[in-house]
Every structure is written in C-alpha cells, then in structure tokens.
Amino acid sequence: MGVRRATVDDAEAIERIRVETWRATYRGLLPDGLIDQLRQNVERRRERLRSPAPSELNFVAEEVAEAVGYAFAGPERTHDREYPGEVYAIYVLPSAQGKGHGRALVRECASELATR
C-alpha cells in the first residue's frame, strides 16, 4: 500500500475508480438514470493531469502496484482563513475500502497542504 503523485498515465485508472465508486456509493441516493449514464472521460482527465492548476495536488493510492483510490486537493475555495486547504475529491474502490487507503490519501494531502 502506498500513495504517490498522480501522473497523466493514471487517467484511465482514476476514471475507472471515479465511475465505480459513484455507482457503488450513490446508487439509491441519486436517480438510477443518472448513475447508469456515468461514463469514463479519460481524455478530460488526461488534460487535467497534464496541465493541473499550480496549486492543485493529485494523488493515487496503490495496492500491489494497482491504483485503487485517488484524491485531489488544493487551496480552500471560499477563502476561509481558518482552513486554507481543502480536499476536493477522494474516492477508493469499494473492494479496497477499509484498508487505510483513504486515510493515507488524506494524510498525504494534509501534509502537502501544510507545507504550503
């Protein structure tokens, strides 16, 4: 288990994780039609990873060299002085949940944000 910075090569894995976790997590909370329409947008994700905002952090959690989770973080978006950093998104595949990947992603985001 480990966490590392995401690269352009992680775009497909991140999109797979995004769609799988949305389907597992939000089914029953959001309309089925919306959940069923979810599709991977690998090109959009590649572009975001190729040219991230300078202040944006992108991390991937791995298990046996396979991406099983991701997190995006950066400056807090409402300019709240008490909380200068924010985790924008964090998702871990259902099959990898409960193993510490989410905690490791949050820890890495918090560490990087604190150094800024």
Nearest to 30 by CA among 39, 18, 40, 38: 38
Confidence label for 84 from pLDDT (cuts 50, 70 and 90): confident
User: Domain locations in the chain?
Assistant: 2-115
SS3 letters for 34-102?
HHHHCCCCHHHHHHHHHCCCCCCEEEEEEECCEEEEEEEEEECCCCCCCCCEEEEEEEECHHHCCCCHH
Q: What integer pLDDT is reported at residue 81 of this predicted model?
A: 84
**Tokens (6 digits) for 6:** 């995401």
Whether 82 shows a pLDDT value over 90: the answer reads no
Q: What value does the mean pLDDT take over residues 85-106?
A: 96
- Which tens digit of pLDDT belongs to each residue from 29-47? 999 999 999 999 999 999 9
**In contact, 35 and 85? CB cutoff 8 Å:** no
State the pTM of this model: 0.89
Confidence label for 9 from pLDDT (cuts 50, 70 and 90): very high
Task: Supply the DSSP symbol for 9.
Answer: G
Q: How far apart are the first and last CA of the chain?
A: 25
Q: What value does the mean pLDDT take over residues 5-10?
A: 97
Q: What integer pLDDT is reported at residue 57 of this predicted model?
A: 96
- For domain 2-115, which architecture applies? 3-Layer(aba) Sandwich (3.40)
